[in-house]
């Protein structure tokens, strides 16, 4: 039996990011590994400069995702004049002033589009491998209960509406954990739910398929890199397993 944590991603708005082209900021339909790495690292108190620790955590992160409530995608139209005096510095979540540097991109009005998922609910089964390395799953559980700083789901405005950590769970595989864990309130009781899980678990389901994803991050250069394969499909959750 595998030891894992169950996370609940529930918020008025959330964004799972992806590869950005020009001003178009997309959101995937499920959280990528880099996004979950950042979430866990934030809880653990990692800093942006901890490149090696972030990459090590990303390599160890194994997870599966279930969409209990899909919500809907919305587009936020954003404009900002980066040349204004008050835009040259701002407060960060770390409580320190962050100054904007020079260059062509530092002035003028910029337009961009950012996509969000509204009123969605996702359940995540997550573990770390190898289990004996640090941080351990116990360390991560403690950090998610009492995070080092405020947590958000994808982007800073996306604050969770419930506690992220649902608790500890044991199951033969990550996918089987999602098939057994209680549904979110308002989920379609008994209907198949969309899910994503590791390709190496060898837990293929009817109507599932292998898809390539680019969801790892080069933390030194702050870009998405690489490609890995995961399963995408639907799963059934026991009708009696409903979370209050």
Asked: is 2-75+118-235 a CATH 3.40.190.10 domain? The reply is no
φ/ψ region of 71 (left if φ > 0, alpha if ψ in -120 to 50, else beta) reads left
The pLDDT confidence band at residue 11, using thresholds 50, 70 and 90, is very high
Residue-wise pLDDT tens digits, 124-159: 999 999 999 999 999 999 999 999 999 999 989 999
* Residue pair 232/209 in contact by the 8 Å Cβ criterion: yes
Q: Using the 8-state DSSP alphabet, how is residue 76 labeled?
A: E
Residue 175 contacts residue 196 (beta carbons within 8 Å):
no
> Does residue 122 have a pLDDT over 60?
yes
Q: Which of 32, 116, 112 is nearest to 73 (CA)?
A: 116
Question: What DSSP string describes 56-69?
Answer: HHHHHEEEEEEEEE
Question: What's the token pair of residue 46?
Answer: 């990692």
Domain boundaries, the chain: 2-75+118-235
CA distance 230 to 212: 7
For residue 221, what are the contacts with CB-CB under 8 A and spacing of at least 6?
none
Query: For residue 107, what pLDDT is reported?
Result: 56
Q: What is the pLDDT of residue 85?
A: 64
141: helix, strand or coil: helix
| Residues 106, 100 contacting (CB under 8 angstroms) | yes
Mean pLDDT over 106-131 rounds to: 88
In the prediction, which pLDDT does 45 show? 97
What's the pLDDT at 109? 76
**Residues facing residue 19 across a β-bridge:** none
pLDDT at 93 over 70: no
In angstroms, the CA 219 to CA 222 distance is 5
* Residue 25 contacts residue 74 (beta carbons within 8 Å): no
| Chain segment 38-77, per-residue pLDDT in tens | 999 999 999 999 999 999 999 999 999 999 999 999 998 8
Structure tokens at 139: 């360390």
User: What phi and psi, each to the nearest 5 degrees, are found at residue 105?
Assistant: -75, -5
């Amino acid at each position: 039996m595998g030891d894992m944590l169950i996370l609940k991603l529930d918020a008025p708005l959330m964004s799972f990011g992806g590869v950005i082209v020009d001003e178009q900021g997309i959101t995937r339909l499920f959280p990528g590994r880099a996004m979950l790495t950042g979430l866990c690292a934030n809880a653990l108190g990692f800093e942006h400069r901890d490149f090696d620790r972030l990459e090590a955590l990303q390599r160890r992160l194994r997870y599966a995702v279930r969409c209990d409530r899909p919500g809907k995608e919305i587009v936020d139209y954003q404009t900002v004049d980066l040349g204004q005096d008050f835009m040259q510095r701002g407060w960060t979540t770390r409580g320190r002033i962050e100054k904007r540097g020079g260059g062509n991109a530092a002035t003028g009005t910029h337009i961009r589009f950012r996509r969000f998922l509204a009123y969605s609910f996702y359940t995540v089964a997550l573990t770390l491998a190898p289990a004996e390395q640090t941080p351990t799953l116990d360390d991560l559980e403690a950090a998610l209960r009492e995070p080092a700083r405020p947590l958000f789901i994808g982007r800073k405005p996306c604050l969770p509406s419930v506690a992220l950590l649902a608790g500890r769970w044991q199951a033969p595989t990550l996918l089987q954990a999602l098939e057994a864990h209680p549904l979110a309130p308002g989920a379609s009781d008994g209907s198949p739910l969309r899910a994503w899980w590791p390709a190496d678990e060898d837990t293929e389901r009817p109507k599932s398929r292998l898809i390539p994803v680019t969801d790892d991050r080069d933390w030194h250069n702050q870009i998405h890199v690489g490609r890995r394969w995961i399963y995408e499909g639907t799963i059934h959750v026991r009708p009696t397993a409903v979370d209050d």
